Structure 1
């Protein structure tokens, strides 16, 4: 395959017929990074929610004054739960992507590409992870390498 780069035969397990390619070198780190990004997203939201509950709740005690003395969205009490459910859904998607890639599931490459496109707008960490995923898995040669890996991978 032209343009794929140097391919060294994989000699780790006898009978494995695929070559040690770019996808093979990056698939494990991608799976770990997607799972870590899910944990990071939930952690960020937990920190933000604790700040918002203190800033917009009855944090100021009986004085109840200051720049954030009253929640500005009192007419929308559903906004916090909706954001939380959306974030947890995204985190579940990230974990499924990471586990699928680590198990080399046939659907995991497509899911990782779709998840990467959905994550492109999450500035800095999400954008970097999405670009890394697209760089490793998007080219047609990567699709062939992934199919070759999944066909030779024993089920876990």
Structure 2
């Protein structure tokens, strides 16, 4: 350990420099000025919030769509009636009814992946970058919001330098 005034050697635990008498502080020196933040760190938090919001909006949209599809495919078979009372006739062919469980599972999986991606980026999990890249590539086909969010994710996290910075190295 060195004295900050005279640069003389100081033994750990001494309160004063033996050469110049300056009081030795046990606290590390404070950094003065803004802390440099890398490109990935600037976008990681924003991406985490966007992915979380996108997941919640997908969940709400899916709930409305599933309710609407279920309502359109209801038939009066075995005493089943529309939730708001009265009889209902189906607005769609019978094969559409078979799509409902499959579509529900796909939408819920993509929604959970979006929410998990948002959490992983906000919590800076080690696997968060890889998950964000995979989910970002998958959502490129979901126009327009999925495409924009997927492209932004791939741009912010896709390069090799981004991988090094996300893993802990700093590259500005």
Decide: shared fold, TM above 0.5. yes
Residues 70 and 100, structure 2, Cα contact 8 Å, conserved in 1: no
Q: SS of 1:32's equivalent?
A: helix
Q: Distance in 1 between the 2:124 and 2:134 partners? A: 16
> What is the number of residues matched between the two proteins?
130
Residues 40 and 156, structure 2, Cα contact 8 Å, conserved in 1: yes
Counterpart of 1:120 in structure 2 is 140
Paired residues for 1:11-30 under 5 Å: 11=35, 19-30=36-47
TM-score (normalizing by structure 2): 0.66
Residues 69 and 100, structure 2, Cα contact 8 Å, conserved in 1: no
Larger radius of gyration: 2
Counterpart of 2:26 in structure 1 is none
Higher relative contact order (CA 8 A, sep 6+): 1
Q: Distance in 2 between the 1:126 and 1:89 partners? A: 15
Counterpart of 2:14 in structure 1 is none
Which blocks of at least 5 consecutive residues in structure 2 are unaligned? Answer: 1-32, 76-81
Q: Which structure's residues are more often helix, by fraction?
A: 1
Which blocks of at least 5 consecutive residues in structure 1 are unaligned? Answer: 1-8, 12-18, 151-156
